[in-house]
Structure 1
Amino acid sequence: MNRTDRLYALVEALRAVAPRPLSARRLAERFEVSVRTIERDLSALQQAGVPIWAEPGRTGGYCLDREHTLAPLGLTADEALAVTVGLGALANGPFRDAAARALGKVHAATRDERLAESLAVARRIAFLEPDDEDAPADVVAAALRDGQVLRLRYRDRDGEPSDREVEPLGYVVRDGVWYLVAWCRLRRAVRAFRTGRIVTLEPTGEHAPLRPFRAADLDIPYGTTRHVVED
């Protein structure tokens, strides 16, 4: 059983006996993994918002609050597959942590038979990604949301470093490679920074002025830009 299936099965195991607790040892025996693996999985579920808590003592263990669990989502197998593939595509991007948490919630709230059917197909889908692309720093994901000016050190395609202050505008992704689009104060123009080439990055605490952003304005010489959500 892979980790995604086990996370879902853990929720179902706790839900089946709620409000009684199950010990990590018993769960480890059931899923044939170590106690440490079970504790890591339960921690991941808690961070994803699943209402699990620990009861101390000899007869204690982990409990699931049945009253606050999500009702099963009414997704079809194809819809569950689309969500799984879509969030899986973000695994190496600036939203990877949020995508992993969201996927855990979707799987935990999708009906058994539909989830099993969608996962069977999802396991046959793979992404071909660049070997040399570093995952972007977590702060990149928050840059657009918080609207802060960022101070970064960046290496261009020739490896030459430069220090910049930029105002985040958006993101563009191409062939699995993410670019932070920002107003560059050094160049006084909009620039696209490949996230894998950002060496260091820190927020300055200064709020950036609101500037319009249209992917079509980047004048990218290949393909057609498409926004995730159209106006």
Structure 2
Amino acid sequence: MNRTTRLYALVEELRAAAPRPLTVAALASRFEVSRRTVQRDLGALMDSGVPVRSTAGRGGGWALDPAMTLPPVRFTADEAAALTSALAAAAGCAPYAGAARTAHQKLIASMTGPAPAAARELAARIVALPSRTPAAVRAAVERALTDRLVLRLSYVDAEGRASDRVVEPAGLLTVDGRWYLIAWCRTRRAGRGFRLDRIAEAAPTGERARPHDLAALLHGSAGADARPALASPTA
């Protein structure tokens, strides 16, 4: 059993035993590896965001945090494929890429039946080019959007002109694999779209941003017809 397969199996073993903790010795025996290997694997799961925790003392051991785990979920083969491909694509270059990677691991851990194996096999066949957006810029944009903070950024437009802006983020627009931050630009006093890979620097100011209607900011632009990608279908 290779390490990747063992990590997935380790999560399933902890899930099956939950809420009862399992000792490192028991896990080492189950997977026929050393205790040191199990300790390294558990550390890797924690680093990747899987909610495993340890309890000391008699009767202690390792378990999945019941407050943060998903119940078993049954997906059809098509649903598992759709979720896997979407998360794999997001983990390549989209905003919240780090969260997409850990979400994929947690999602597979929550699946039952043949879906987990199919999802893992499909994920191995989806590749993505590295993002051209600096990690620090992406993290700043993510924080500003999530916490609704005013963002200070340095931007280079299509003609290579650089400018400094102070913006109030409203949302994200994706077009043909490119991502744009849609925001109210205080410098231009109008709605603007900023391609993420053209943002040279970005930093949340700590100031709360005013709420803005995303559709209103897109009105009259090339993205005016954009719709929420995960909107529920109407009757």
> Per the shorter chain, which TM-score range?
0.7 to 0.9
Matches within 5 A, 1:50-199: 50=51, 52-55=52-55, 62-65=61-64, 70-91=70-91, 92-127=93-128, 129=129, 132-135=132-135, 136-199=137-200
Root-mean-square deviation (CA, aligned residues, Å) is 3.5
What is the match of residue 9 of structure 1? 9
**1:53 positional shift:** 2.1
One-letter code aligned to 2:177: G
TM-score by length of 1: 0.77
Aligned partners of 2:60 and 2:25: how far apart in 1? 4
**1:190 positional shift:** 1.4
SS in 2 for 1:94: coil
Distance 1:9 1:220, change over 3 A: same
Aligned partners of 2:26 and 2:142: how far apart in 1? 34
Aligned partners of 2:45 and 2:26: how far apart in 1? 9
**1:152 positional shift:** 1.1
**1:171 positional shift:** 0.6
The unaligned stretches of length 5 or more in structure 2 are: none
Question: Contact 2:24–2:39 (CA<8 Å) still a contact in 1?
Answer: no
**1:60 positional shift:** 9.4
Aligned partners of 1:149 and 1:119: how far apart in 2? 39
Aligned partners of 2:41 and 2:134: how far apart in 1? 29
What is the match of residue 45 of structure 2? 42
Number of equivalenced pairs: 223
Which deviates further from its counterpart, 16-25 or 147-156? 16-25
Q: Post-superposition, which runs of at least 4 consecutive aligned residues in structure 1 deviate over 6 A?
A: none
One-letter code aligned to 1:13: E
Question: Contact 1:166–1:183 (CA<8 Å) still a contact in 2?
Answer: yes
TM-score by length of 2: 0.76
Q: Give identity over the alignment, percent.
A: 38
SS in 1 for 2:114: helix
The unaligned stretches of length 5 or more in structure 1 are: none
SS in 2 for 1:167: strand
SS in 2 for 1:206: strand
**1:121 positional shift:** 3.1
Residues 21-65 of structure 1, C-alpha deviation per residue, up to 9 Å, x if partnerless? 12599388649x9667524422135x34x2x223558x9985115
**1:198 positional shift:** 1.8
What is the match of residue 220 of structure 1? 222
